[in-house]
Chains A and B, each alone.
Chain A
Amino acid sequence: MANAVAGARIRTTTRTLGVSRRRASAPSVLWGAEDLLRWVITLGLGGIVIVVCWYIAAGQATFSQQVGPLDAAVAGLLLAGIGNLAWLIHGRRALGERRRLLLPDVAEAVAHSAQPAQTVVAEPVSAAEAALEQVFLAGEGMERYHRPGCALASGRTGWTTATRREHELAGRRRCGVCQP
């Protein structure tokens, strides 16, 4: 798993830094330069405030004179916390938006993918016949056909159903993901 993630990191590092061909409405990078700048500024300011307050408080002789710097240090910590929170919220939002655009109805697709297995068990036909008679989805001009529950077919409108034979006569091949 760690190797897979590391491999993905190697393959996609360049692409995540730059902007590639993507849907205009989808976020092209997880965090932009502006987000990074905002995060660094809030963290830097918060850190500087804490250090300055510590320096001032250390130079005071009485507790009552140190309360002001203590309050300011807490404010600096809050500022840094807000910066961290904004950074993470922005990242999560960008990720969720891209996931929704890329995989619109994963839950629905998973629910559908459970149905064909039950049908095959109930029908008294051989597996080969069932596979031939089962219908699959494809869009006009598409090169691949998909199972009804395939994540790649989920949310597509205007796609037609046909048997495997019909799809293959139309020159389509099996989807590499659902492997109908």
Chain B
Amino acid sequence: MDIGKWLRLQWDRVLAWAFVVAGAAALIAGWVGVSGSAYAAGQLPYIISGGIGGIFLLGVGATLWLSADLRDEWRKLDCIEDALRESGASPIDTDEVAVD
């Protein structure tokens, strides 16, 4: 599988890694900034941008990764539903309606 196709299929995990890396970089940059300033007033902007901003980016990355897992599970259920239909045991009961 070529890299372009893989990136298109796994875009959510790629994006999640990008956010996690960005979050880690922000945390490290914030730590460097805070350690280089002797005054609390000089450190606080680094805490907000590097610390809180880094946690924000890590949170988005984690959410994207978990969302990708949920999407995979959803696709597996699609496959199971197809298998149920093909086996003749319809997964849809009497309340089945066409919703499209």
Contacts and interface: CB of A to CB of B under 8 A. Distances in A.
Contact of B52 (A11, A50, A88): A50
Contacts of A87: 63, 67
17 contacts: A10-B9, A12-B75, A18-B100, A22-B92, A23-B92, A31-B67, A43-B60, A50-B56, A54-B49, A57-B44, A66-B41, A69-B48, A88-B66, A98-B77, A99-B77, A142-B89, A176-B83
Contacts of A92: 70
Contacts of B87: 144, 152, 175-177
Interface residues of A, number: 65
Contacts of B93: 23
A103 interface: yes
A28 B99 contact: yes
Interface in B54-100: 55-56, 59-60, 62-63, 66-67, 70-81, 83-84, 86-89, 91-93, 95-100
Secondary structure dominating the interface of B: helix
Contact of A12 (B67, B78, B99): B78
B14 interface: no
Contact of A102 (B6, B63, B84, B98): B84
Interface string A43-73: 1001100110110011011110010011001
B40 interface: yes
A102 B81 contact: yes
Contact of A144 (B48, B63, B88): B88
Nearest to A8: B75
Contacts of A102: 77, 80-81, 84, 91
A68 B60 CA distance: 25
Nearest to A28: B99
B89 A144 contact: yes
Given A9-B9, A84-B63, A30 B89 contact: no
B56 A66 contact: no
A135 interface: no
B74 A77 contact: no
A152 B9 CA distance: 30
Contact of A80 (B56, B89, B95, B97): B56
Instruction: Please give me the 5 A-B residue pairs with the lowest Cβ-Cβ distance, nearest first.
Output: A144-B88, A143-B88, A152-B89, A58-B45, A84-B63
A109 interface: no
Interface string B32-56: 0000000011001101110011011
A53 B48 contact: yes
